[in-house]
C-alpha cells in the first residue's frame, strides 16, 4: 500500500502553520503567499504584503537590506538556481535590532520556474550571547598570553616592560609602570618615609610615539601619603577616571596630569601591583585613540594581569636580594689580599656571574707554607646561592688549616671529600691543589675532578698539565694521586674554574683551546695584565662564576 499524497489543503496548512516565517514570491519577486509567522515578523497584514516586492515593504523605513535580498533572489536563486542557506540579515524597527538567518530556494514545475520560497529564522538571542561572550574570550586569551609573555626573566625592569608591552594597544594607548623606589634599592617595599611614597618609573609605552612627552623611564615620583592616590595605594585599591574632568580631580602630580591630558588621554586607571600581600608599585593605563571609557570590568582584567606581573616582579626582587647576599658572603670569604711569595708573581680575579644567573661557590686561595713554600688552591662548589657560598667558606678554611699543618695534597683532598660527605645533602665540589717550592721550582699537584691547570712557557706556547682527575669531593673517593712537575723560569701557571671555559652545548675541549690561545696571546710582562686580557677575551659577561689565579715563576731562589 503506497503512502498517501498530501492534499492541497494539507500543504497549505503546513505552510501557514509553520513557526518559521515563510513567503512565496513569483518570478517578479512579488509576494504571492505568506504565513502567520512572516506577517508577525513584518508587523503587517497580508493586504500590505501580497503583490509587493521586498523593497516595497516598508514600516518606519526599510526594515532589512532589501536591495541585497532582491539582488540575491534575482541573480542567484531565480536565474542560477543556487539556493541561499543561512545568510545573516538584520532588521531594525523603531530602534530595535534583530538578526535573522535567511534561506531561499527556487520552486519549479516540470522545468518551469514558478518562483521562490524564502524563510527567516530569528537568531537574535544566540547572536547576542555570542557577542557578549566575545570580550570574555578575548580577555581569557589575553590572560593566557600573559602567562608566557610576562616574567620571562628574573629581571624587575624586563618584567615591567613585558607588562607594558602586553597592555598596549589592546588595553591602553599609554602605559606607565612605577615601582616603590626602596624596592629597587634592595630594601623592604614600604620601608620608607611615612610622610611620602617614592616611586620610580621602570617602564613606559605609548602606542603613538616612541618617546612619551613629559614622561621618562627613571623618573622619581613622590606622593604625600595624605593625597587620595597614595591612600588608595596603601589600601591596595585601584583608581578609575572615566573622563578628562575626573583626571583633573585625581589628585595626582600636576606634571603627570598635564602630560596625560596633553597626550589626549580621556580615561585612565591606576592598578596596584600586589604580590604575597605586599604592594610593590602600580600600573597606570590610559586611553586616547580608543574612544571607550574604562569600566569596572576593565579594571578587573588589568588587576588580574597586574597580579601576575607583580608575582614575577617579587620573585625577581627576592632573587636579586639573595643573589646580592650570596655575592657579599662569597666575597667576604675570598682572600682580600694575596700575601707576597718569594719566587712567584701572583695575580688573581674573581668575577661573579651576571645578575641574570645564580651565584656559585667558586673560590681560590694562596697559602704560605713552612720553608718558603706556597699552596695555590682553586675550587668550585656544585649548586648555587648562599648555601654554595657557605660550603665554599668551610672548604677554604679547612684547606688552609690542613695545608699549614704540612699535609700532602692527596691527604688534603681526602679530608675535604670527607667533610662534604658528612654534610649528607649531596654537596659536591671540584678542587685543584698545587704546592710549590720556589727554591727548586717543583710543583706537586692533585685534582678532585677539576679542569687541568694550564702552563704558559716563556716563549708563549701553552700546554695543559696532565694529571689524574680524581673524583669530585663528596663523591666518596679516597685516592687523589699527586704528580710532581718542575716549572720553567718565567712560566705562568694558570688555575681557573669552569665558568671561564664552558659554553652551553659546547665540548669543554673547545673552551680549553680558547684559553690556551688567550694565554699565549696575552701580555707576558705582567700577570695582572694577563688576567685582564684573558677575562676580556673569554668572560666579559660570564654565565657562571669565574675564578682565575695566575702565578709566574721568577728566578729568585731561597
pLDDT tens across 537-558, in order? 988 777 778 899 999 998 754 4
Cα separation, 448 vs 531, whole angstroms: 24
Question: Is the link from the previous residue into 169 a cis peptide, with omega within 30 of 0?
Answer: yes
List pLDDT tens digits, range 349-363: 988 776 544 566 788
Q: In whole angstroms, give the CA distance from residue 164 to residue 175.
A: 6
> Which residues face 443 on adjacent strands?
436, 485
pTM of the model: 0.55
The mean-pLDDT minimum among 33-42, 217-226, 301-310 falls in 217-226
**CA distances to 226, 343, 373, 378 from 434, in Å:** 65, 15, 11, 9
Distances in Å between the Cα of 129 and the Cα atoms of 100, 122, 123, 188 are 14, 13, 10, 48
The closest alpha carbon to 99, from 122, 83, 77, belongs to 122
Q: Residue 501 in contact with residue 518, Cβ under 8 Å?
A: no
Whether the per-residue pLDDT at 484 is higher than 70: the answer is yes
DSSP annotation of 473 reads B
CATH superfamily assigned to domain 334-553:
PPM-type phosphatase domain (3.60.40.10)
Helix axes of 156-167 and 296-333: crossing angle, nearest 10 degrees: 160
Mean pLDDT value across the chain: 84
> What are the Cα distances from residue 359, in Å, to 299, 329, 544?
39, 10, 7
pLDDT score of 76 more than 60: yes
User: 8-122 adopts what CATH topology?
Assistant: Beta-Lactamase (3.30.450)
Strand pairing category for 174-180 and 112-122: unpaired
Average pLDDT on 520-542 reads: 86
pLDDT of residue 191: 56
229-233: list long-range contacts, CB under 8 Å, 24+ apart.
Answer: 229/270, 230/196, 230/197, 232/270, 233/197, 233/270, 233/272, 233/279, 233/282
204 phi/psi in degrees, rounded to 5 = -155, 145
Pair 133, 149: CB distance under 8 Å: no
Chain-centre distance of CA 179, in angstroms?
18
Q: Which of 446, 433, 450 is nearest to 369 (CA)?
A: 433
How far apart, in whole angstroms, are the C-alpha atoms of residue 420 and residue 264? 65
- What are the residue boundaries of the structural domains of the chain, listed by start? 8-122, 131-324, 334-553
∠ Cα 294 295 301 (to 5°) = 90
Edge-first strand listing for the sheet containing 21-25:
31-34, 21-25, 112-122, 96-109, 84-93
Averaged pLDDT for residues 280-304: 90
Please give the CATH topology (third level) of the domain spanning 131-324: Beta-Lactamase (3.30.450)
Q: Give the whole-number percent of the chain exceeding pLDDT 70.
A: 88
In the predicted model, what is the mean pLDDT of residues 139-150?
77
Phi (first) and psi of residue 488, to 5 degrees: -75, 150
* pLDDT of res. 442: 95
Domains 8-122 and 131-324 fall in the same CATH topology: yes
CA–CA separation, 98 and 21 (whole Å): 14
Mean pLDDT of 222-233: 82
Adjacent-strand bridge partners of 483: 445
The average pLDDT across 435-453 equals 94
> Contact 118/104 with Cβ under 8 angstroms?
yes
Amino acid at each position: 500500500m503506497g503512502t498517501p499524497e498530501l492534499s492541497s489543503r494539507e500543504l497549505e496548512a503546513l505552510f501557514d502553520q509553520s513557526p518559521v516565517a515563510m513567503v512565496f514570491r513569483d518570478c517578479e519577486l512579488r509576494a504571492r503567499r505568506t504565513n502567520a509567522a512572516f506577517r508577525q515578523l513584518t508587523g503587517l497584514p497580508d493586504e500590505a504584503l501580497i503583490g509587493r516586492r521586498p523593497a516595497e515593504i516598508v514600516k518606519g523605513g526599510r526594515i532589512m537590506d532589501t536591495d541585497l535580498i532582491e539582488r540575491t533572489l534575482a541573480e542567484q536563486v531565480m536565474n542560477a538556481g543556487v539556493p541561499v542557506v543561512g545568510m545573516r540579515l538584520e532588521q531594525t524597527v523603531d530602534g530595535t535590532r534583530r538578526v535573522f538567518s535567511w534561506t531561499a530556494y527556487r520552486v519549479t514545475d516540470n522545468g518551469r520556474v514558478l518562483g521562490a520560497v524564502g524563510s527567516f529564522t530569528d537568531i537574535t538571542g544566540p547572536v547576542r550571547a555570542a557577542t557578549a561572550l566575545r570580550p570574555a574570550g578575548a580577555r581569557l586569551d589575553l590572560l593566557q598570553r600573559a602567562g608566557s609573555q610576562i616574567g620571562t626573566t628574573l629581571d624587575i625592569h624586563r618584567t615591567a616592560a613585558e607588562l607594558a608591552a602586553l597592555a598596549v594597544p589592546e588595553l591602553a594607548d599609554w602605559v606607565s609602570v612605577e615601582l616603590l623606589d626602596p624596592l629597587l634599592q634592595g630594601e623592604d617595599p614600604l620601608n620608607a618615609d611615612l610622610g611620602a611614597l617614592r616611586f620610580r618609573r621602570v617602564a613606559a609605552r605609548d602606542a603613538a610615539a616612541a618617546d612619551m612627552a613629559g614622561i621618562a623611564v627613571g623618573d622619581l615620583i613622590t606622593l604625600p601619603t595624605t593625597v587620595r592616590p597614595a591612600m588608595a595605594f596603601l589600601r591596595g585599591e585601584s583608581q578609575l577616571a572615566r573622563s578628562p574632568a575626573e583626571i583633573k580631580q585625581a589628585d595626582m602630580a600636576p606634571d603627570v596630569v598635564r602630560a596625560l591630558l596633553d597626550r589626549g588621554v580621556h580615561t585612565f586607571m591606576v592598578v596596584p601591583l600586589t604580590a604575597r600581600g605586599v604592594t610593590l608599585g602600580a600600573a597606570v593605563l590610559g586611553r586616547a585613540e580608543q574612544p571607550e571609557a574604562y569600566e569596572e570590568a576593565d579594571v578587573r582584567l588589568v588587576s588580574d594581569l597586574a597580579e601576575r606581573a607583580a608575582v614575577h616582579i617579587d620573585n625577581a626582587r627576592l632573587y636579586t636580594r639573595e643573589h646580592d647576599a650570596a655575592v657579599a658572603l662569597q666575597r667576604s670569604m675570598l682572600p682580600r689580599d694575596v700575601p707576597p711569595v718569594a719566587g712567584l708573581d701572583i695575580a688573581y680575579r674573581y668575577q661573579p656571574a651576571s645578575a641574570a644567573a645564580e651565584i656559585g661557590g667558586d673560590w681560590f686561595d694562596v697559602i704560605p707554607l713552612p720553608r718558603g713554600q706556597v699552596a695555590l688552591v682553586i675550587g668550585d662548589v656544585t649548586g648555587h646561592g648562599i648555601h654554595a657560598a657557605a660550603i665554599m667558606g668551610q672548604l677554604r678554611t679547612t684547606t688552609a688549616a690542613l695545608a699549614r699543618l704540612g699535609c700532602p695534597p692527596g691527604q688534603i683532598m681526602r679530608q675535604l671529600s670527607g667533610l662534604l660527605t658528612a654534610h649528607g645533602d649531596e654537596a659536591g665540589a671540584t678542587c685543584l691543589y698545587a704546592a710549590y717550592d720556589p727554591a727548586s721550582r717543583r710543583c706537586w699537584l692533585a685534582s678532585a675532578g677539576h679542569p687541568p691547570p694550564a702552563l704558559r712557557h716563556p716563549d708563549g706556547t701553552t700546554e695543559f698539565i696532565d694529571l689524574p682527575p680524581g673524583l669530585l669531593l663528596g663523591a666518596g673517593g679516597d685516592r687523589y694521586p699527586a704528580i710532581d712537575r718542575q716549572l720553567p723560569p718565567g712560566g705562568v701557571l694558570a688555575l681557573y674554574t669552569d665558568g671561564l671555559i664552558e659554553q652551553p652545548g659546547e665540548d669543554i675541549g673547545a673552551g680549553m683551546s680558547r684559553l690556551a690561545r688567550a694565554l699565549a696571546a696575552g701580555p707576558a710582562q705582567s700577570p695582572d695584565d694577563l688576567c685582564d686580557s684573558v677575562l676580556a677575551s673569554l668572560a666579559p659577561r660570564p654565565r657562571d662564576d669565574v675564578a682565575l689565579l695566575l702565578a709566574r715563576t721568577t728566578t729568585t731562589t731561597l
